[in-house]
Amino acid sequence: MSESVAEQQAVLMQHVGFRRQGRVILNDVNLEVGRGQKWVLFGPNGVGKSTLVAMMSTRGFPSTGSVEILGNRLGKVNVFSYRHRIGLASAGLAKTISPQEDPYDVVLTAFSDTTGRWRETFTAKQEEATLALMDRFGIAYLKGKRMYRLSEGERGRVLICRALMANPDLLILDEPTTGLDLGGRELVLRALSDIGREDRDRTVILVTHRLEEIPLGFDRIAMMGRRPADTADTGDPDPGTIVYQGPLEGGLTGPRLSELFGLDLTVVHREGRWGAFAV
């Protein structure tokens, strides 16, 4: 692929493999995510989605193959020179934040690309933008509290706001509705739908294993499944890979999902929202 075409991709993975302690986790992963596109990374638990997220966010490296993020190849360019262009909300990132931190400061310090407010100063405009974004996700009331006192759903929304506050070129949301009740989930999905439909320049990748958590405005999907590798039988699960990438309608079919989860599944698509249930 020519350099000019590669630069048009926000994420470009070619024949990516990953091993951990001798076990093959990912095998022959190929993925192209164009700039400004809205993608869903979908698949069962344990199939390697988090490993791919680590690479997309420049926090992990492949064992084989190549990964280019925003035109920069992992291992060839200093990741800290462009990591500020990537917004990430994930459980792993949450572990790096002090439980004593004010949720408001967690979001605000995205402007300085730090975790933990010390002596940084911020403008009134930045402070106003922080509160406005938190209000959009229904968590403005958390200002002045402490992270350890928040519910899992509240912490998740704080991380989404932090990821958005830095105005990244690439936004990665790893299971953003985990721990939310129905009302909280719908509030987050409504905000993400607005991003999907209105924010044309930003590339967004939403990671989930639940069809009902796919927001409006997200129209492409990369589906992960397992495929036998050309290795001796070790008793380990088959490695994960991308088994489909393209339009949502082409991927979210009963036969595809039935094969993916090993169940006879029926897919429902109503008023822009998706769902599935076992026959």
Give me the domains of the chain, ranges plus CATH numbers: 3-278 (3.40.50.300)
pLDDT value, residue 178: 80
Confidence at 7, pLDDT banded by 50, 70, 90 = low
131 compared with 84, residue with greater pLDDT: 131
Q: Is residue 183 pLDDT above 90, yes or no?
A: no
Lowest-confidence segment of 105-109, 180-184, 206-210 by average pLDDT: 180-184
Instruction: Round to whole Å and give the CA distance between 228 and 40.
Output: 24
End-to-end Cα separation, the chain, in angstroms: 43
Lowest-confidence segment of 11-15, 33-37, 109-113 by average pLDDT: 109-113
pLDDT value, residue 14: 97
Instruction: Round to whole Å and give the CA distance between 186 and 213.
Output: 9
Instruction: Round to whole Å and give the CA distance between 168 and 98.
Output: 23
pLDDT value, residue 230: 61
Average pLDDT (61-71) is 96
Strand partners, 171: 87, 204
Instruction: Round to whole Å and give the CA distance between 61 and 237.
Output: 21
Lowest-confidence segment of 43-47, 69-73, 95-99 by average pLDDT: 95-99
- Mean of all residue pLDDT scores within the chain: 89
Q: Is residue 3 pLDDT above 50, yes or no?
A: no
pLDDT value, residue 2: 45
Instruction: Round to whole Å and give the CA distance between 59 and 51.
Output: 9
pLDDT value, residue 5: 52
Instruction: Round to whole Å and give the CA distance between 11 and 156.
Output: 24
Single pTM value for the model: 0.87
pLDDT value, residue 232: 54
Residue 239 CB partners (closer than 8 Å, separation 6+): 17, 24, 25, 26, 27, 48, 226, 227, 229
- Residues 166 and 108 sit within 8 Å (Cβ to Cβ): no
Instruction: Give the dihedral sign, CA 214/160/29/37.
Output: positive
pLDDT value, residue 127: 93
pLDDT in tens, 106-145: 999 888 777 777 777 889 999 999 999 999 888 999 999 9
